[in-house]
Amino acid sequence: MKIAIVKLSALGDIIHAMVALQFIKQKYPDCQIDWVVEEAFKGILANNPDIDTIHTVNIKKAKKNKSLKLLFQEFKKLRNLPKYDLVIDAQGLIKSAIVSKIIKSNRVSGFDKYSIRESIAAIFYNHTTSIAYDENTIDRNIKVICNPLNIAISSKEVVNKSPFLFSQGQVKVPNKPYAVLIVGSTWESRNYPKEKFVQVAELLQVNCLVAWGNSSEKEKAKWMVEQSEFINALPKLNFDDLKRIIQCSSLLIGNDTGPTHMAWGLNVPSITLFGPTPINRVYQTPINKVLKSNSEVDHFNLNKNDYSIKEIKVNDIVKISKELLGKKP
């Protein structure tokens, strides 16, 4: 059986969908699984033994540049892919539905119209899966991928999953113990204050490595280094090296964003900090904890002006961190 999974972006969403791969392989060990993804995110999928081929597209670039020529080039590339028994749109957007439909297949599956924001996407599928939009994000990804394959996965199985991110990175890894701090995200209101990250590092008194991905995050990392002898900034890392750094870490503390969710995919202890986004985007486990501000979140209308994440207490982070690091609170 040949399966193509379409999950174009973003980083955290791709990670939350990747967990399904191991369960598919358990039931269908000889199946072929390919993945269609935006070029920028290819690295997060790389080296996964359950993925046979990663097919990349540049739909986002074509839309940004308003280039019909590039868009049609990408569609032609998809049309030339081999035929699949099943294509699964695990994203539920109009663009991902179109991508899924263009790929030659016997069957296209995705969310039903009541389970996604862009309900028109469902008309492109001949098999649909129903799960409420405000259900746990990981459960939604697993169900839309596994349902057309008649695979049912329990929450216990998800909690006890095997790590599913893999690296061949050669980046130099510091001596343990060390913590990774993820200080950026797509919205400023999702970012825990850099001043409080510094306070966390000062109280933990372990080597805290700040990961950054753009110029503003780099400046934030530089400022934090100047404030504490326990903080060091990582160099600019590709996904392979970032996976390696997180894999070998003792703890990750970060905002609700893709690199933070990598810790869950690697079975590394973590604390995810939530403000304007819902905590049921993740699974909580004995080693993967969350802290949420007191604000109420509407899954269907997230408030980008909700800066309540800054209210999360430093001492609460430190207490859980010490527990995860094996220290007395």
Please list, residue by residue across 231-247, b when 16 or more beta carbons sit within 10 angstroms of its beta carbon and e when fewer do: bbbbeebebbbbbbbbb
Calculate what percentage of the chain has a pLDDT beyond 70.
99
Average pLDDT of the chain, as a whole number: 96
Given a cut of 60, is residue 296 above it in pLDDT? Answer: yes
Cα distances (Å, whole numbers) of residue 140 to 143, 190, 201:
5, 22, 35
* Strand boundaries in the chain, DSSP class E: 2-6, 32-38, 53-57, 86-89, 108-111, 127-129, 178-182, 207-211, 231-233, 251-255, 270-274, 288-292
Given a cut of 60, is residue 328 above it in pLDDT? Answer: no
**pLDDT tens by residue, 40-92:** 999 999 999 999 999 999 998 888 888 888 999 999 999 999 999 999 999 99
**pLDDT tens by residue, 210-237:** 999 999 999 999 999 999 999 999 999 9
If you search the block for the tokens 């503390």, which residue do you land on? 253
Q: How confident is the model at residue 327 (pLDDT cuts 50, 70, 90)?
A: low
**pLDDT tens by residue, 136-146:** 999 999 999 99
Tell me which H or E stretch contains 306.
Answer: none
Q: How confident is the model at residue 126 (pLDDT cuts 50, 70, 90)?
A: very high
Mean predicted confidence (pLDDT) in 321-325? 97
307: phi then psi, degrees, rounded to nearest 5: -100, 25
Residue-level pLDDT at 329: 52
